[in-house]
A = this chain, B = another copy of it.
Amino acid sequence: MSRMAIRYTPEDCAHLLSAVRTQQPLIQCLTNAVVTNFTANVLLALGAAPAMVDIPGEAAEFAPVASGVLVNLGTPTQSQRAAMVEAAEAARAAGTPWVLDPVAVGALSVRTAAARTLADLGPAIIRGNASEIMALAGAGTGGRGVDSTDTPAAAEAAARSLATATGAAVAVSGARDLVFGADGTGVGIANGHVLLTRVTGGGCALGAVMAAFLAVTPDAVLAAAAATGTYTVAAERAARLASGPGSFAVALLDELAAVAPGDVAAALRLQALAPAALQQQGAL
């Protein structure tokens, strides 16, 4: 267990935040109409540079220039779906890491087909709530709209299986966030605040933050964990300043800009998760 326990430290995550701020990675977002403004503002607050390039003919042109790409299926118009495949293929060919967020996959037919196609195009991270990850892994039928009807713990087996099948790191958001690697690595992040569920795009914007962290490390599990850690620590700080969901969203942007790497290192609660094999053997 000692190896797992020290695989990633809060200091590793804090170091990546410094790198994001220094390198200001250019993040291409193909995301839904509901959260595109908030997502761009989250990236700007963090210190990254958003570029919402999501039309056919430009999506593939931009992916090789970008440092990271987010593909989010929240409101997938026909034009956007074509652009998403373009961008994913161009990102893969150019070596630009990209994040897939299969919003509401399972319950809705068009995006479910799109998500399966995209999952085969080499995302570095797949991010969703428990119901979405289960549905994409073929282990469930999706949640209630964008809301999960399952807990992250219930999605663990599906997430590990999806990571193995796709080679992607799989991040499951919830009261405790979980990240699994294709090699069996598992990390829990026990930060965050319930107000994140009362702001639209609270999860969607995290996908963009993950793309920004992918731009500064080749380790997708670490990128997902560090992004989640930075975002949820900022959320905890914002919640202390907020009077409700409106002022929380504003304070979250302020705190994403203000939070120092040392703040993240001090507040982050990372947990090593035992490999599935050990769990199944009852060794833990």
Contacts and interface: CB of A to CB of B under 8 A. Distances in A.
B65 A107 contact: yes
A50 B44 CA distance: 26
A11 interface: no
Contacts of A62: 107-108, 145
A58 B246 contact: no
A45 B245 contact: yes
Interface stretch (A30-38, A172-180, A210-218, A262-270): A30-38
B243 A44 contact: no
A22 interface: no
B61 A75 contact: no
A64 to B, nearest CB: 11
Contacts of A36: 33-34
A251 B246 contact: yes
Interface string A237-251: 000001111110111
A78 B54 CA distance: 11
A15 B201 CA distance: 30
A65 B249 CA distance: 29
Interface in A133-172: 144-147
B45 A40 contact: no
Interface stretch (A88-96, A124-132, A253-261): A253-261
Counting from the closest, the 3 A-B pairs by CB-CB distance are A246-B253, A244-B254, A51-B145
7 contacts: A32-B52, A34-B37, A41-B249, A45-B246, A58-B110, A62-B145, A65-B107
